[in-house]
Structure 1
Amino acid sequence: MAVALGASLLVSGCSGERPSAPPPLDSSAPSQGSLAPSASLDAAAAVEAAYTQFWPRSAQTPHKPEDTWRDAIAAIAIEPQLSVTLEAMRRNKAAGFTTYGEVVVRITSVEVSGDTAKVVDCQDASRAGQADARTGDPKTVGVPRMPVTATMKRDQASGQWKVARLRFPGGAC
């Protein structure tokens, strides 16, 4: 498998292809500057909380029955990331892999524009990765400074912020 980090493999699939770049922000949506300052801060805090929750919840889901995966991931992600994450989980299961450890999120910026937001993270995944599902033996380990860019969208049905797309540009941060 080409992706060295279990967490990124979980969300980006086994093909070694990186997810495509996040879609551009909707320029017709009100900008952060047009919101009241407290509304901007509240939205940014909600985006940050939703992004931060994505990592442990997506890492725990493969340890549960497969028929619960869609609902669990749909609570934290929307398309296209929902399908990308579910497919990666299915591939990992078929290959005999599971996840271990936890990713430490280190958000460097959050930009909110209407119902879309961009999160830039320099996460520490050095204590997380993939393990043999049968033995629990680690097979991969993440890196301490991995750049991640997330496009977040406010779910129109629930009003909750969810991960719409993750991008792993490579390199270190």
Structure 2
Amino acid sequence: MGATSSRERVAVRSKSAVVEAYSGFFAGVGRALQAPPERVRGILADLASGSYLDFEIRQVIDHQARGLEAWGRPVVHVTDVELGPVSAMVHDCQDASRAGLADVRTHRLVPQSRGDAHRNLVAYLRLGGDQQWRVIDLVQHKASCHRL
């Protein structure tokens, strides 16, 4: 029974670390949007890896070039975490209704950028050699989700 309890505690800590890394990803993208272009990769490299890191860098640089900044912030509602030894999948019924992109000059929301109140996201994370979880893909499903 003691070994099972120990394994359960490790699993709970690991899931907590995954959720923390996933949740921190969104704040980090907001920081990257405010940073000089030469610092974007350094900020995002702590949060994402692989081709998804490259995708996010391109997105941030594009938003900056178009004069856009983060507006509001999404509220993460993790509904499930599937955990493997070095990979994880996070299901999020995110409320992004108070998040989007704004014009950097006026700070006004670009209306079509506002998110949905029940954004159905699945994030894939991988554990790096430095023992940090990073997003390697993020998929938004068309069907809305329901929080538990």
Q: Residues 112-138 of structure 1: CA distance to partner in whole angstroms, max 9, x if unpaired?
A: 111000000000011110111222111
Determine whether 1:149 maps to 2:117. no
Q: 1:163 is matched with which residue?
A: 135
Gaps of 5+ in 1: 1-32
Structure 1 residue 72 corresponds to structure 2 residue 18: no
| Separation in structure 2 between the aligned mates of residue 135 and residue 54 of structure 1, nearest angstrom | 26
Report the equivalent of 1:91: 62
Once the two structures are superposed, residues 50-98 of structure 1 have per-residue CA deviations (whole angstroms, 9 ceiling, x without a partner) of 1111111112211111111111000111112211110001111222222
- Alpha-carbon distance between aligned partners in 2 of 1:109 and 1:126, rounded to the nearest angstrom: 21
4+ aligned runs moved over 3 Å, structure 1: none
CA distance in 1, matches of 2:141, 2:89: 14
Q: Give, in whole Å, the separation in 2 of the partners of 1:94 and 1:171.
A: 31
**Structure 1: distance between partners of 2:136 and 2:93:** 18
Instruction: Describe the SS at the equivalent of 2:93.
Output: strand
- Aligned to 1:99, the other structure's residue is in SS state strand
Greater helix share, structure number: 2
Amino acid at match of 1:154: L
Which structure would you say has the larger RCO, counting Cα contacts within 8 Å and 6 or more residues apart?
Answer: 1
Query: In structure 2, what is the Cα distance between the partners aligned to 1:155 and 1:58?
Result: 19
- Indicate the residue corresponding to 1:54 in structure 2: 25
Amino acid at match of 1:155: G
- Letter aligned with residue 26 of structure 2: W
> How much identity, in percent, do the aligned residues show?
29
**Aligned counterpart, 1:124:** 95
> What residue identity is the alignment partner of 2:128?
D
RMSD over equivalenced CA pairs, Å? 1.5
Number of residues paired by the alignment? 139
Query: 1:40 Cα shift?
Result: 1.3
Question: Which structure: greater strand fraction?
Answer: 2
Q: Structure 1 counterpart of 2:115, which letter? A: G
Give the structure-1-normalised TM-score.
Answer: 0.76
Name the residue aligned to 2:74: 103
In 2: Cα distance, 1:71 partner to 1:121 partner: 26
- Cα distance in 2 for residues equivalent to 1:121 and 1:134: 32
* Unmatched segments (≥5 aa) in structure 2: none
1:114 pairs with 2:57? no
